[in-house]
Structure 1
Amino acid sequence: MSTQTDVEQHWKDCIEPFTDVVRAVEDWDAPTPCEGWSAHDLLDHVVVAERDFAARQGREIPVFDGSRNELWTQWVKHASAVTALAGDETFIMQSLHIATGDMTVGEALLHFHGFDLLVHRWDLARSQGRDEQWTDEEMDRIERALDSFGEQAYQPGILADPVPVADDAPRQVRLLGRLGRRA
């Protein structure tokens, strides 16, 4: 990923479906597959992680205050701010050194936070009693990210330990098992 347009488009490919799921949330207190997290906690995790990432790169994403009833509005404002950063060449082309090597800020945004949006989209939908299907391309992205994270992905507070799944289970079910989730 090296061009502004590529980063921005791939970011939109992750954030727009997540936004569709956020729009459909009716019960922000509903538990998610992430142990101890409600739908509200999950959305807060995504927002805080993205804000912290931007801040570490010298950019501020404002906190959009409001009541729990206004979570949709808060999310839309936040998502717009992060999408604008994904289209900002000065921001996304900065070099970044992380434990797994060097990459641009745009690549890191997609690799880590795009991954979060894909996985947590399923979690958020599940909290509302809905099933969310990933595309083959999305599953490719998740698998590539998991491969690069290695065993570090299963440290406390990141992913739960993998769940055993039948070898002949559908691809998404096998991937969910690898993510520590039950289909």
Structure 2
Amino acid sequence: MDPAEALARYRRRADAFESLIAATPDNLWSAQSPCDDWDARGVVDHIVVMHDVMLRPVGLSPSEGPSVADDPLGAFRRARADVEALLTDSDMASRMTSSPAGELPVADMVDQVVSQDLVHHGWDLAKATGQDATMHADDVEELLPVVASLPPEVYIPGAYGPDIVVLGPKVFVPDDAPAQDRMLGLLGRDPHWVAP
């Protein structure tokens, strides 16, 4: 993949996720998300942790910055800056690295992991905090076939290691449902989930 393409897509998705964080009132950070184990703050924490994971294969450590517990927006901005620095450094972005999907360039790893996570977990954060959960149409078009081709192991708790749960069980969604709803069902999410 062209690192510039990965960067542009990442920035668009990160802009959307950052806007959701910025619009979350302080009293909703403890609101339940569609992910059983996470409240709204937990969704952001997961995203920040996964950003930091992107640095490990190239021997980098996260920059100094606030914690998600103290400042979710500041923590995400710090993590985002670290990942953007990877993608804007042409040598780093093209460096080959190991991943669960095999050997691939850093730019591809970011694009296939944390960039896609911003889309899925952006929906989670939006639903938890009562914001517009409509995904970008380009993302739905691109990611629906990717999600539809996921291996069965992603639905099996512990398949990728002790205590690792990738996705919950698929949720039935009719074949004639909107593409976003069908993708959410494949991701183990009820498209009509409402915060308790």
Alignment TM-score > 0.5, same fold: yes
Whole-Å separation in 2 of the counterparts to 1:113 and 1:67: 17
The 10-residue stretch of structure 1 (92-101 or 144-153) with the greater mean CA deviation from structure 2 = 144-153
Whole-Å separation in 2 of the counterparts to 1:112 and 1:29: 26
Whole-Å separation in 2 of the counterparts to 1:172 and 1:131: 13
The 10-residue stretch of structure 1 (25-34 or 119-128) with the greater mean CA deviation from structure 2 = 25-34
Partner of 1:25: 24
* Pairs aligned (count): 182
Unaligned runs of 5+ in 1: none
- Conservation of the 8 A alpha-carbon contact between 1:92 and 1:106: yes
Shift of 1:48: 1.0
Shift of 1:66: 4.8
3-state SS of paired residue (2:98): strand
Partner of 1:173: 181
Partner of 1:82: 83
Q: Deviations over 1:51-77 (max 9, x none)?
A: 122122212222423574522222222
Q: Percent identity?
A: 25
Structure 1's 71 and 151: CA in aligned 2 closer, same or farther, altered over 3 A?
same
Matches for 1:58-137 after TM superposition, within 5 Å = 58-66=59-67, 68-137=69-138
Aligned-residue RMSD, C-alpha: 1.9
Q: Which 4+ stretches in 1 moved above 6 angstroms?
A: none
Give the aligned residue type for 1:119: H
Give the TM-score normalised by structure 2.
Answer: 0.84
Whole-Å separation in 1 of the counterparts to 2:174 and 2:74: 41
Unaligned runs of 5+ in 2: 158-164, 192-196
Whole-Å separation in 2 of the counterparts to 1:158 and 1:168: 26
Whose helix proportion is higher, 1 or 2?
1
Shift of 1:175: 1.1
